[in-house]
Amino acid sequence: MAGEDGFKKLPSELQLQLATTAHVKYIQSLDARKDDYDYWLTEHLRLNGLYWGLTSLHLLGHPQALPRAETIDFVLSCQHDSGGFGAAPGHDAHMLSTVSAVQILALVDAFDELETRGKKGGKAQVGKYIAALQNRQTGTFAGDEWGEEDTRFLYGAFNALSLLGLLDLVDVDKAVDHVVACANFDGGYGVSPGAESHAGQIMTCVATLAIAGRKDLIDADRLGRWLSERQIAGGGLNGRPEKREDVCYSWWVLSSLAMVGKTHWIDKDQLAGFILSCQDPEKGGISDRPGDMVDVWHTVFGLAGLSLLEFPGLQPVDEVYCLPKSTIERVLGK
């Protein structure tokens, strides 16, 4: 088992190293790719990308590799008067980028800057923006004023509001009821009531219940079984039955297993081997499957997965927030 004998059981060809230096360089280079068409096409993910990159760096033990002051300046430049954040300056406010903003400010310990330099109202205004997106009838959340609803947004709201200490702005019980309504007979959860179980949505639902202190509502055994069946030959995890493996599920599935105390229900060594084999050892970064193009999204969820597996050389990650445990301890006083 991982952690007990330090991954000695990996087959020799998978005795792979964590390419820490290359990963740090890769993340540092992300904002210098302005001659890449893709850089411009992905501007709607800029704030999310900063969260993914910065979390990666913190997990790799290089929290200073991106300049703190510029990071805070950029985050604050994305804020709207409503309190919400857009993905980049000039982009509309949205739940997804707002949550990333809160997570980044938590990472770099800058809630006080939000208070002094953010839009009028500071933290409270951010909380107000998020809380207004709750559907008070059903308890779930929309992503923005245009009304798309999804358990991703519900989790995002709980994640950010709890970090800000403002969870009391929303109807927690209603939200919990909604999550319960998304449960399926197989123990998993979907994007909305009636929807098929999906590992990504499971993570959002289970983490929401964890933040609300209602993990008692989870059928841990049945869910754990469904999640453990996500590991397929080769060691990687898929997101639904009969689908291909993908590094990002190393996070969605594994963190969910961690929240119900069942990470030992899969083969940790094989999973670590799979994630490591998806690294680009020279240029850094992690891809969805071995040999594919890397991106910062797969990089952070690969690293966070390795961290949950207690792979040597990584800082411990919090399975509910996908932030370093040290950040959560500092912010929530845990």
Partner 1 sequence: MGTTQQGGSQHGIARTSRARTEDEKLQELAKIEKYRQLEDQVRFHAAQNNYTPEVFQLTSKLLRLNPEYYTIWNVRRRLLISGLLSKPSAGSSPSTASFSTSPTATTTTSSDASSSSLSTATPPAPASPTAGRSGTTADEDGSQGQNKDFDILKSELGFTIPLLLESPKCYWIWSYRLWILRQAIQRLQTSVARRIWEEELGLASKMLTKDKRNFHAWGYRRHVVQQLESPELGGTSMAEPEFEYTTKMINADLSNFSAWHSRSKLIPRLLDERKADDEARKAFLDKELGLIRDALNVGPEDQSLWYYHHFLMLNLVSFVGHPTITPAFTQEDRVTYVLREIEGVKELLEDYDDKLIYEALLDYTLYLCQLEERQPEAGERADLVVWLRKLMVIDPMRSGRWTDMEKNYGLMERRLSMGDETVALVH
Question: Rule CB under 8 A: which of 30-89 touch partner 1?
Answer: 34-38, 40-45, 48-49, 51, 82, 86-87
Region 301-330 residues binding partner 1, contact defined as CB under 8 A = 321-322
Q: For residue 315, give every residue at least 6 positions away whose Cβ sits within 8 Å of its Cβ, in sequence order, or none.
A: 58, 59, 60, 61, 307, 324, 325, 326
Contact predicate 249/203, CB 8 Å: no
Cα dihedral 128→130→133→134 (10° resolution): -90
Q: Decide if residue 134 touches partner 1 (CB under 8 A).
A: yes
Of the two residues 90 and 333, which places its CB atom closer to partner 1 in the complex?
A: 90
Only segment of 23-31, 67-75, 112-120, 236-244 that touches partner 1 (CB under 8 A): 236-244
Q: Which stretch binds partner 1 (CB under 8 A): 16-24, 209-217, 243-251, 307-315?
A: 243-251
CB of 138 vs partner 1, minimal distance in Å? 8
Q: Which of 83, 118, 122, 224 binds partner 1 (CB under 8 A)?
A: 224
Is the CB of 116 or the CB of 119 nearer to partner 1?
119
> Minimum distance between the CB of residue 143 and partner 1, rounded to whole angstroms?
8
Q: Is 155 in the site for partner 1 (CB under 8 A)?
A: yes
Q: How many residues of this chain interact with partner 1, rule: CB under 8 A?
A: 93
- Both tokens assigned to 227: 């999640």
* Of 46, 128, 48, 47, the residue nearest 81 (C-alpha): 128
CA dist., res. 324 & res. 65, Å (int) = 16
162 binds partner 1 (CB under 8 A): no
Rank residues 16 and 116 by Cβ distance to partner 1 and give the closer one.
16
* Segment contacting partner 1 by CB under 8 A, of 11-19, 111-119, 142-150, 162-170: 142-150
277 binds partner 1 (CB under 8 A): no
Provide DSSP, 49-69.
Answer: HHHHHHHHHHHTT-GGGS-HH
Residue 186 sits in the site that holds partner 1 (CB under 8 A)? yes
| List 132, 169, 217, 258, residue binding partner 1 (CB under 8 A) | 132
Instruction: For 263, list phi and psi in degrees, rounded to 5.
Output: -65, -20
| Bridge partner list, 141 | 134
CB of 149 to partner 1, least distance (A): 6
Binding partner 1 (rule: CB under 8 A), the pick from 25, 62, 128, 243 is: 243
The upper half-sphere exposure of residue 110, i.e. CA atoms within 13 Å in the direction of its Cβ, equals: 20
Half-sphere CA count of 120, side-chain side, radius 13 A: 2
Smaller CB separation from partner 1, 59 or 248: 248
CA distance 200 to 151: 10
The least CB distance from residue 163 to partner 1, in Å, is 11
In terms of Cβ atoms closer than 10 Å to its own Cβ (0-12, 13-18, 19+), residue 195 is middle
Spatial separation of the C-alpha atoms in residues 192 and 184, rounded to whole Å: 11
Min separation Cβ 324 and partner 1, Å? 13
Of 37 and 116, the one with the shorter C-beta distance to partner 1 is 37
Residues numbered 110-129 forming contacts with partner 1, rule: CB under 8 A: none
Report the interhelical angle of 296-308 vs 249-259 (nearest 10°): 30
In the complex, least distance from residue 301 CB atom to partner 1, rounded to whole angstroms: 9
Within 244-273, which residues bind partner 1 (CB under 8 A)?
246, 248, 251-252, 262, 264-267, 270
Please tell me the distance from the alpha carbon of residue 46 to that of residue 43, in angstroms, as a whole number. 5
